[in-house]
Amino acid sequence: MKNLPNQCPICGGGITVTRFQCDQCDVTIEGRFAVSKFVRLSDEQLQFVETFVRCEGKISRMENELGLSYPTIRARLHEVIRALGYEPGKDEGPAAPGLSLAERKRILEDLDQGRITAEQAMKLLSRREE
Protein backbone atom coordinates (compact mmCIF):
# COMPACT_ATOMS: atom_id res chain seq x y z
CA MET A 1 0.00 0.00 0.00
CA LYS A 2 1.31 3.46 -0.88
CA ASN A 3 1.52 6.40 1.54
CA LEU A 4 -0.76 9.37 1.00
CA PRO A 5 1.17 11.99 -0.99
CA ASN A 6 1.58 15.35 0.73
CA GLN A 7 1.00 17.32 -2.48
CA CYS A 8 -0.37 16.84 -5.96
CA PRO A 9 2.22 15.14 -8.19
CA ILE A 10 1.05 17.21 -11.19
CA CYS A 11 0.79 20.79 -9.91
CA GLY A 12 2.16 20.65 -6.34
CA GLY A 13 -1.18 21.76 -4.84
CA GLY A 14 -2.67 20.55 -1.58
CA ILE A 15 -4.36 17.17 -1.26
CA THR A 16 -7.94 16.59 -0.06
CA VAL A 17 -8.93 13.07 0.94
CA THR A 18 -12.37 12.26 -0.48
CA ARG A 19 -12.76 8.52 -0.02
CA PHE A 20 -12.05 5.87 2.62
CA GLN A 21 -12.50 2.14 2.22
CA CYS A 22 -12.38 -0.53 4.93
CA ASP A 23 -10.19 -3.49 3.94
CA GLN A 24 -12.09 -5.83 6.26
CA CYS A 25 -15.76 -5.19 5.45
CA ASP A 26 -15.36 -3.34 2.13
CA VAL A 27 -17.46 -0.35 3.27
CA THR A 28 -16.61 2.85 1.39
CA ILE A 29 -17.19 6.35 2.78
CA GLU A 30 -17.00 9.39 0.53
CA GLY A 31 -16.77 13.07 1.50
CA ARG A 32 -14.12 15.70 2.20
CA PHE A 33 -11.84 14.73 5.07
CA ALA A 34 -9.18 16.78 6.83
CA VAL A 35 -5.74 15.24 7.09
CA SER A 36 -3.15 15.58 9.84
CA LYS A 37 -0.46 18.24 9.65
CA PHE A 38 2.00 15.35 9.71
CA VAL A 39 1.03 14.55 6.11
CA ARG A 40 3.11 17.61 5.22
CA LEU A 41 6.28 15.88 6.41
CA SER A 42 8.62 14.02 4.10
CA ASP A 43 9.41 10.36 4.83
CA GLU A 44 12.79 11.45 6.24
CA GLN A 45 11.12 14.00 8.53
CA LEU A 46 8.60 11.39 9.73
CA GLN A 47 11.45 9.01 10.58
CA PHE A 48 13.12 11.84 12.50
CA VAL A 49 9.90 12.49 14.47
CA GLU A 50 9.56 8.77 15.24
CA THR A 51 13.14 8.69 16.54
CA PHE A 52 12.51 11.89 18.54
CA VAL A 53 9.48 10.31 20.22
CA ARG A 54 11.27 7.00 20.83
CA CYS A 55 14.14 8.94 22.46
CA GLU A 56 11.59 10.85 24.58
CA GLY A 57 12.72 14.15 23.05
CA LYS A 58 16.22 13.81 24.50
CA ILE A 59 18.64 15.18 21.97
CA SER A 60 21.61 13.47 23.64
CA ARG A 61 19.97 10.09 23.00
CA MET A 62 19.26 11.11 19.40
CA GLU A 63 22.92 12.08 18.95
CA ASN A 64 23.92 8.53 19.94
CA GLU A 65 21.22 6.80 17.92
CA LEU A 66 21.61 8.84 14.72
CA GLY A 67 25.33 9.56 14.96
CA LEU A 68 24.67 13.26 14.37
CA SER A 69 25.83 16.37 16.20
CA TYR A 70 23.63 18.50 18.44
CA PRO A 71 23.49 21.39 15.91
CA THR A 72 22.48 18.99 13.09
CA ILE A 73 19.69 17.49 15.18
CA ARG A 74 18.45 20.96 16.20
CA ALA A 75 18.48 22.04 12.53
CA ARG A 76 16.43 18.98 11.52
CA LEU A 77 14.01 19.59 14.37
CA HIS A 78 13.57 23.18 13.19
CA GLU A 79 12.86 21.90 9.66
CA VAL A 80 10.11 19.65 11.04
CA ILE A 81 8.67 22.49 13.12
CA ARG A 82 8.54 24.74 10.05
CA ALA A 83 7.02 21.98 7.89
CA LEU A 84 4.21 21.72 10.45
CA GLY A 85 3.53 25.44 10.03
CA TYR A 86 5.23 26.84 13.12
CA GLU A 87 8.27 29.03 13.69
CA PRO A 88 10.92 27.59 16.04
CA GLY A 89 11.39 29.58 19.25
CA LYS A 90 8.47 31.90 18.57
CA ASP A 91 6.64 30.87 21.75
CA GLU A 92 9.72 31.00 23.97
CA GLY A 93 9.63 33.57 26.71
CA PRO A 94 12.51 35.85 27.64
CA ALA A 95 15.64 34.36 29.16
CA ALA A 96 15.54 33.82 32.89
CA PRO A 97 16.72 36.96 34.71
CA GLY A 98 20.26 36.80 35.97
CA LEU A 99 21.30 33.91 33.72
CA SER A 100 23.31 34.11 30.55
CA LEU A 101 22.29 32.05 27.53
CA ALA A 102 25.33 29.81 28.16
CA GLU A 103 24.20 29.18 31.76
CA ARG A 104 20.64 28.37 30.62
CA LYS A 105 22.02 25.96 28.00
CA ARG A 106 24.24 24.24 30.58
CA ILE A 107 21.27 23.79 32.95
CA LEU A 108 19.10 22.37 30.16
CA GLU A 109 21.89 20.03 29.04
CA ASP A 110 22.33 18.84 32.65
CA LEU A 111 18.59 18.15 32.77
CA ASP A 112 18.69 16.34 29.40
CA GLN A 113 21.63 14.19 30.58
CA GLY A 114 19.83 13.32 33.83
CA ARG A 115 22.44 15.05 36.03
CA ILE A 116 19.73 17.19 37.65
CA THR A 117 15.98 16.78 38.16
CA ALA A 118 13.29 18.90 36.52
CA GLU A 119 12.63 20.49 39.91
CA GLN A 120 16.31 21.43 40.29
CA ALA A 121 16.38 22.83 36.75
CA MET A 122 13.28 24.97 37.40
CA LYS A 123 14.87 26.33 40.58
CA LEU A 124 18.12 27.14 38.77
CA LEU A 125 16.35 28.72 35.80
CA SER A 126 14.21 30.95 38.01
CA ARG A 127 17.20 32.21 40.01
CA ARG A 128 17.57 36.00 40.00
CA GLU A 129 20.72 38.07 40.40
CA GLU A 130 20.75 39.99 43.62
pLDDT at 127: 65
Q: Does residue 105 fall inside a structural domain?
A: yes
Q: Does residue 79 fall inside a structural domain?
A: no
Q: Does residue 99 fall inside a structural domain?
A: yes
Q: Does residue 106 fall inside a structural domain?
A: yes
In terms of pLDDT, which residue wins out, 66 or 13?
66
Q: Which domain holds residue 110?
A: 94-130
Residue 100 has pLDDT above 50, yes or no: yes
Sign for the pseudo-dihedral over CA of 8, 13, 18, 20: positive
- 8 A C-beta contact, residue 38 and residue 45: no
Question: Which of 38, 90, 82, 80 is CA-nearest to residue 57?
Answer: 80
Count Cβ atoms within 10 A of the Cβ of residue 73 and give its class: 0-12 exposed, 13-18 middle, 19 or more buried. Answer: buried
Rounded to two decimals, the pTM is: 0.56
Number of structural domains, the chain? 1
* pLDDT tens profile 20-37: 899 999 999 999 987 788
Identify the band that residue 128 occupies on the pLDDT scale cut at 50, 70 and 90. Answer: very low
Q: Does residue 102 fall inside a structural domain?
A: yes
